[in-house]
Amino acid sequence: MAKIQIKNPATGEIVDEIKSHTEEEIHLALEKGNQAFKSWSQVNAHERSRLLKVWANKIQDEKQDIARLMTMENGKPLHESLGEVDYATSYIDWYAEEAKRIYGRTIPSHTETKRIIISKQPIGLVAAITPWNFPAAMMTRKAAPALAAGCTFIVKPAIETPLTTMRLIKLAHDSGIPKDVIQYVNGRGKQIGDIFTKSPLVRKITFTGSTPVGKSLIKQSAHTVKNVTMELGGHAPLIIHEDADIDLAVEQTIASKFRNAGQTCVCANRLIVHEKISDAFSKKLTDHVSKLKVGNGLNKETDIGPIINKKSFEKISQQIKDAIHKGATVLTGNNYHVNEEKGYYYVYPTVLQGVTDKMIIMQEETFGPVAPITTYETLEEAVHIANNTPFGLAAYFFTNDYRIGTYFHDHLDFGIIGWNDGAPSAAHVPFGGMKESGLGREGGIEGIEPYLETKYLSIGNV
């Protein structure tokens, strides 16, 4: 039986060893999920809601334990893991309520002898593929609306961080949610992705991860015309206008840029600062960033944990090298703590000034604790720099002038906009991207629609 070793990215130590599922086991799990759909879809909405609430409460009861486990497999600071457990629970709480609000409608008929009724039905078995950067929340924001809608659910967590997901699913079963209604399988992404997308039993694929993998899952899903939701890469601009409150902008830039060591798809990736305040902003930002503590996430004082793996580390360090080579100035950082033998990789938080669009860091998502600063003179120029990317997930801007804020809001091609706000995510709002950042939205009332089919009934001869 093939085994997968889960390593602590902070130390390189093995946290656990789990079983990799065989092709037969994955097919069997899909069959069970499909079979369970027949009964779960008939459970009344209030009962589904009740079960989801029990699940949410159980997660909260074990919050400290789950957060520790998450830090050990993902590396993020413990306080961030605790925050993620709350964030993950909030999706279950929110969709437990929404289960009771899946409304249809009636439409006035065009003749006296007909009645028209529109109803919503769960789509069927949902297969999810999730990433390592939010091992709890990326699963619950898919599982909660799926289960609330009456769908059954199977997830393949990231190979780096399956333990948190497995723990949460065990708690779902302990809550009384039937075993086949929510399942996980472990193994290589490509292999499981192929099985999920080829299977006619799976009616929906929901994915959070990189844009190239998302594109291939969309293509593969075409064979059986599956509904897809895609949360893909970002390349978020963060614009700071000349009138902005600089202290607020610095605080929120740090919150956005350095969370999870810069490894989130909504992390500010390009700081676009008005030239008149660029020096003042850069100095304050550098002062704060240079004080951030790097280390093992289990240490209380840690602000920045390790990078998830060697591949990510190499991408980040090469982007920094490329920027310096092409003329950027290092204001702080560009230091590393690496042990190849043990297998851990730390990047000290880095601020780069004088960045231009010729540098890779301005073209590609960094997924690391690096803040590149470029400047602008006019609003049009700021918007041009911000939109000059195939991605369109999150964008941020800082201004106290409502006309300028309205201009940015109108012209930025991004699905999530933070105005004087570096942390806009929440369970009750639609999260998702434009352009190559994705398809569909998760969270809010928009987040349950993709798990529902619309059925139109025409009653004649009345």
Known catalytic residue: 265? yes
First to last CA, the chain: 62
Among positions 125-144, residues that touch ligand ADP (CB under 6 A) are: 129-131
Using the rule CB under 6 A, give the single segment among 30-38, 63-71, 124-132, 388-396 that binds ligand ADP.
124-132
Residue 341: Cβ-neighbour burial (10 angstroms; 0-12, 13-18, 19+): exposed
Of 130 and 278, CB closest to ligand ADP: 130
> Of the listed 84, 151, 160, 265, which one is catalytic?
265
Q: Is 213 in the site for ligand ADP (CB under 6 A)?
A: yes
**Residue from 211, 195, 267 nearest 236 by CA:** 267
CA 130, CA 308: separation in Å to the nearest integer? 15
The answer to whether the CB of 256 falls within 8 A of the CB of 286 is no
- Contact with ligand ADP (CB under 6 A): which of 144, 158, 201, 205? 158
Q: Is 121 in the site for ligand ADP (CB under 6 A)?
A: no
CA 77, CA 346: separation in Å to the nearest integer? 13
Using the rule CB under 6 A, give the single segment among 31-39, 143-151, 167-175, 188-196 that binds ligand ADP.
188-196
Tokens (6 digits) for 110: 């065009």
Burial per residue of 264-284, b for 16 or more beta-carbon CB atoms within 10 angstroms, e otherwise: bbbbbbbbbbbeebbeebbeb
Q: Give the nearest distance from C-beta 159 to ligand ADP in angstroms.
A: 5
Of 216 and 363, CB closest to ligand ADP: 216
Q: Give the nearest distance from C-beta 391 to ligand ADP in angstroms.
A: 14
Q: Give the nearest distance from C-beta 131 to ligand ADP in angstroms.
A: 4
Q: Is 354 in the site for ligand ADP (CB under 6 A)?
A: no
Q: Is 219 in the site for ligand ADP (CB under 6 A)?
A: no
DSSP 44-66: -HHHHHHHHHHHHHHHHHTHHHH
Bridge-based pairing of strands 329-332 and 391-392 is: unpaired
Of 310 and 384, CB closest to ligand ADP: 310
Q: Give the nearest distance from C-beta 401 to ligand ADP in angstroms.
A: 37
Q: Give the nearest distance from C-beta 62 to ligand ADP in angstroms.
A: 24
Of 33 and 444, CB closest to ligand ADP: 33
Q: Is 189 in the site for ligand ADP (CB under 6 A)?
A: yes
Q: Give the nearest distance from C-beta 209 to ligand ADP in angstroms.
A: 3
Apex 62 CA angle, 59 and 63, nearest 5:
80
> Of the listed 231, 365, 436, 442, which one is catalytic?
231
Q: Is 209 in the site for ligand ADP (CB under 6 A)?
A: yes
CA 319, CA 63: separation in Å to the nearest integer? 36
Q: How many residues does the chain have?
A: 462
Question: CA 430 from chain center: how many Å?
Answer: 12
What amino acid is encoded at 239 in this protein?
I
Size of the residue set binding ligand ADP (CB under 6 A): 14
Question: CA 457 from chain center: how many Å?
Answer: 37
Q: Is 9 in the site for ligand ADP (CB under 6 A)?
A: no
CA 219, CA 57: separation in Å to the nearest integer? 39
Residue 322: Cβ-neighbour burial (10 angstroms; 0-12, 13-18, 19+): middle
Q: Is 154 in the site for ligand ADP (CB under 6 A)?
A: no
Q: Is 159 in the site for ligand ADP (CB under 6 A)?
A: yes
Can you state the angle between helices 137-149 and 162-174, rounded to 10 degrees? 30
Of 219 and 293, CB closest to ligand ADP: 219
Q: Give the nearest distance from C-beta 194 to ligand ADP in angstroms.
A: 7
Tokens (6 digits) for 201: 């039993």
Q: Is 267 in the site for ligand ADP (CB under 6 A)?
A: no
Q: Is 210 in the site for ligand ADP (CB under 6 A)?
A: yes
Q: Is 46 in the site for ligand ADP (CB under 6 A)?
A: no
Of 23 and 357, CB closest to ligand ADP: 23
Of 121 and 210, CB closest to ligand ADP: 210
CA 158, CA 33: separation in Å to the nearest integer? 20
Q: Give the nearest distance from C-beta 196 to ligand ADP in angstroms.
A: 8
Residue in the block written with tokens 């929440």: 426
- Contact with ligand ADP (CB under 6 A): which of 100, 101, 190, 215? 190
CA 441, CA 430: separation in Å to the nearest integer? 5
Known catalytic residue: 231? yes
Residue ranges of alpha helices (H) inside 199-243 are 211-221
Catalytic residue list: 231, 265
Q: Which residues in this chain contact ligand ADP in the complex, by CB under 6 A?
A: 129-131, 156, 158-159, 189-190, 193, 209-210, 213, 216-217
